[in-house]
Chains A and B, each alone.
Chain A
Amino acid sequence: MIEVRNLCKSFGDVEVLQDINACFAKGKVSQIIGKSGSGKSVLAKCVIGLYAPTSGEVLYDGKSFQSMEKEEVRQLRQEIGMLFQSSALFDSLTVLENVMFPLRMFATMNERQMRERADFCLKRVKIEGADAKYPAEISGGMQKRVGIARAIAMNPKYLFVDEPNSGLDPQTSIVIDNLIQEITDEFNTTTVVITHDMNSVMGIADEIFFISQHRLMWKGTREELLRSDNAELNAFIFAGSLMRQVKQAMKEG
């Protein structure tokens, strides 16, 4: 479980996040939604400690990240898997080497076991036959999926994925959503997904966090989301025609 307490973050004078309080539960998929530029990625980066919060703290299973020693942070991070919005694959390594990288650094496996594990992870994100390619030689959506494969290679306790679906076709999108769901159930992971994709929200979100105007504007479950009367949240989620139809259908019973 990850707890965010009174987290604020500004860059210079620019305030991005204000007094965020949230709890990402173990074995659940928590999704962070919000407009582009609302601070979702910044929030994720504060939670994993890439940005130091201006104030507030983040607790991993009750232990404050901000008070951890460097070595403790490294230990903890070996249990974190993260997909960056930009994928952040190592471009001097092949697809296969990228996925094997965390294993090479930390796992007690021989070469063959590492390969098998990497192959397995790549299969789960539906990447086949691209092992020897470099990140620059595959599409953006494929990079995303390789990024996910790398993030899950070590069976992380905490999984962060920043826009796993952007750039993916609807079919592959669902595959990725299901994968995130399965991993969360199977390994009881604390999963945090950042997304704009309402399909993904309605598909797998256990709890939803809506960021707007620098604040955590709303949180709740999928059912609560559809029934919410928060005007801003409604404006956000019902912007797409599909969601409007859902709402309409609900009204008509």
Chain B
Amino acid sequence: MALLFHIGRYFMLLGEVFSKPERLKVYWRRTLEEMDLLGVKSLGIVALLSLFMGAVIAIQTKTNIDSPLIPAYVVGFTVRQSTILEFSPTIISLILAGKVGSTIAAEIGSMRVREQIDALDIMGVNSAGYLILPKIVACALINPFLIMISMFLSIFGGWMAGTLTGIISSANYIQGVQYDFDAYIVTYSLIKTVVFAVIIASISAYQGYYTTGGTREVGISSTKAVVYSDVVILIANYLLTQLLLL
């Protein structure tokens, strides 16, 4: 029952969020600010994770399939496939749910408990739209860029690890990265990314928006935002994979 209540209220909130903005200009400016806060400021962590993840995939692939029957370029191929298909869109989105989701829930939640959302409502502003729409749009616009950067850096990280440790030659690695490439997997991956971005921003905003109580509850909302975003991302990942790849 509680689940149904939350799902119902979540979609009603989204209805509010996507109703006509009062002032497009104000909303757009807020969207740009959010892109900076939620996207650009996540670049560092995404870059770091991606480099190391690619490096680890490369080394593990090499050590696990060290057989003369398997061609050397398989390392590059494996790094590319696992990065583009799952690591960048899904794992990085899960990480972003932790970083961005908790930020969103905490910000909106503390505005709620400090009566700032009431203040918006009382001015006649559509508080849900004003606060949440720019965040959803910002994440949906900027996350694909973050994920593309992540893909590039992860593959680059694999190359660095492979060549620096000498387990694979640069030429073999690049051959693997280019082997049997189907651009559709990038499309698939970016579709997932956008869906995950909307999930992160909207679920976290929902948690923040319906916070009641004080600062302790803001903390709880922020944790819930991350947990629920993660769970929904995993479910959506499964469904999208079935839908887009089968």
A82 at the interface (CB under 8 A from B): yes
A235 at the interface (CB under 8 A from B): no
Q: Distance (Å) between the CB of A233 and the closest chain B CB?
A: 30
Assess A104 versus B23: contact at CB under 8 Å? Given A74-B124, A77-B122, A77-B123. yes
Is A77 in contact with B115, judged by CB distance below 8 angstroms?
no
A52–B121 Cα gap in the complex (Å)? Answer: 14
B119 at the interface (CB under 8 A from A): yes
Tally of B interface residues using CB under 8 Å = 16
A63–B118 Cα gap in the complex (Å)? Answer: 22
Is A105 in contact with B122, judged by CB distance below 8 angstroms?
no
Is B124 in contact with A75, judged by CB distance below 8 angstroms?
yes
With both beta carbons as reference points, the residue of chain A lying nearest to B29 in the complex is identified as: A104
With both beta carbons as reference points, the residue of chain A lying nearest to B33 in the complex is identified as: A92
Is A90 in contact with B23, judged by CB distance below 8 angstroms?
no
Is B119 in contact with A82, judged by CB distance below 8 angstroms?
yes
Is A50 in contact with B122, judged by CB distance below 8 angstroms?
yes
Is A78 in contact with B124, judged by CB distance below 8 angstroms?
yes
Contact code string B2-30 (vs A, CB < 8 Å = 1, else 0): 00000000000000000000110010000
Partner of B22 from the list A50, A89, A90, A105 (CB cut-off 8 Å) is: A105
- Chain A residues contacting B116 (CB-CB under 8 Å) are 88-91
B126 at the interface (CB under 8 A from A): yes
A50–B118 Cα gap in the complex (Å)? Answer: 7
Interface residues on A, range: 20 to 34
- Chain B residues contacting A101 (CB-CB under 8 Å) are 123
B125 at the interface (CB under 8 A from A): yes
B180-201 residues at the A interface, CB under 8 angstroms:
none
- Chain A residues contacting B22 (CB-CB under 8 Å) are 105-106
With both beta carbons as reference points, the residue of chain A lying nearest to B123 in the complex is identified as: A102
- Chain A residues contacting B123 (CB-CB under 8 Å) are 77-78, 80, 101-102, 105-106, 154
Is A106 in contact with B119, judged by CB distance below 8 angstroms?
no
Is B122 in contact with A80, judged by CB distance below 8 angstroms?
yes
Is A74 in contact with B119, judged by CB distance below 8 angstroms?
no
A243 at the interface (CB under 8 A from B): no
Is A88 in contact with B26, judged by CB distance below 8 angstroms?
no
A48–B115 Cα gap in the complex (Å)? Answer: 14
- Chain A residues contacting B119 (CB-CB under 8 Å) are 82, 84, 88-90
A88–B123 Cα gap in the complex (Å)? Answer: 12
Q: Distance (Å) between the CB of B185 and the closest chain A CB?
A: 40
With both beta carbons as reference points, the residue of chain B lying nearest to A82 in the complex is identified as: B122
Is B118 in contact with A77, judged by CB distance below 8 angstroms?
no
A245 at the interface (CB under 8 A from B): no
A230 at the interface (CB under 8 A from B): no
Contact code string A8-48 (vs B, CB < 8 Å = 1, else 0): 00000000000000000000000000000000000001001
With both beta carbons as reference points, the residue of chain B lying nearest to A79 in the complex is identified as: B124
- Chain A residues contacting B111 (CB-CB under 8 Å) are 90
With both beta carbons as reference points, the residue of chain A lying nearest to B125 in the complex is identified as: A105
The interface centre, meaning the residue of A45, A48, A77, A154 with most chain B CB atoms within 10 A of its CB, is: A77
Chain A residues proximal to chain B, CB less than 8 Å: 45, 48, 50, 73-78, 80, 82, 84, 86, 88-91, 101-102, 104-106, 154
A sample of 22 inter-chain contacts (CB < 8 A) reads A45-B118, A50-B121, A73-B124, A75-B124, A76-B124, A77-B123, A77-B124, A78-B124, A82-B119, A82-B122, A84-B115, A86-B115, A88-B116, A88-B118, A91-B114, A91-B116, A102-B123, A104-B26, A105-B26, A105-B124, A105-B125, A105-B130
